[in-house]
Structure formats: structure tokens, C-alpha cells
Amino acid sequence: AQSVTQLDSHVSVSEGTPVLLRCNYSSSYSPSLFWYVQHPNKGLQLLLKYTSAATLVKGINGFEAEFKKSETSFHLTKPSAHMSDAAEYFCALILTTDSWGKLQFGAGTQVVVTP
């Protein structure tokens, strides 16, 4: 069975320092992988996606993620955190065999940014 595991439920970083959010996946086939962000009282916004092209994916707001098949990981990074990055982040996958865009989400990582 396929699944997504976000290894940290909470991450606290200082403004201006790097951010690392960890995501591992389990799937029989190489999936499409996504990172979404959810600010309070808002819907989810797509940060970036991997769909079997370049393994290093650049997204919006300075975020990027690297697909590592050997490690079944898709960790999200940002070189320098901003106060506006405080939010909840979700890693998700869609199976290659899926016909309908069925996103499967991890449990989420709450990011706190301190001044």
C-alpha cells in the first residue's frame, strides 16, 4: 500500500535560517509528489510538484525539493526562513497508475518562525 510519512509534526526555526521539512513515501511505483502549504483559515496552496522530470524541483517563495528514489524521500527546503513561512505544510502523492488525481496526504508539519 502507498503512504506518505512526514517525519516531524512541528518544526521551529529562526527567521533567516534554513528550513528542512522531511517527507518519505512508500509506493510500488514512482509516484507524483507534491508539497502544499496551508496558512490559518486558508485553503491549501501548491508549493511545488515532482512528476518524473528533473529530480530537483523549484517552487514558489524560494522553496525547493529533491526527489531521491533510493531513499524514497522528497524533503522540502528553503535557504532562509521568513516570518510569512509560518504555516502547516503537507506532503502528498498521486500514484502513477491513478487516473483521477487522488492526492494522498501526510499528517502535516506545523512550522513556527521566531524573530
Partner 1 sequence: ETGVTQTPRHLVMGMTNKKSLKCEQHLGHNAMYWYKQSAKKPLELMFVYSLEERVENNSVPSRFSPECPNSSHLFLHLHTLQPEDSALYLCASSQGAGRTYEQYFGPGTRLTVT
Contacts with partner 1, residue ranges (CB under 8 A): 4, 31-32, 36, 41-46, 49, 51, 90, 92, 94-96, 98-108
The residue to which cell 514558489 is assigned: 60
Work out how close the CB of 80 gets to partner 1 at its nearest, in angstroms, rounded to a whole number: 26
CA distance 35 to 109: 11
Q: How would you classify residue 101: left for phi > 0, otherwise alpha for psi between -120 and 50, otherwise beta?
A: left
Which three three-digit cell numbers place residue 99? 487516473
Work out how close the CB of 49 gets to partner 1 at its nearest, in angstroms, rounded to a whole number: 7
Q: Which of residues 9 and 14 has its CB atom nearest to partner 1 in the complex? A: 9
Work out how close the CB of 66 gets to partner 1 at its nearest, in angstroms, rounded to a whole number: 19
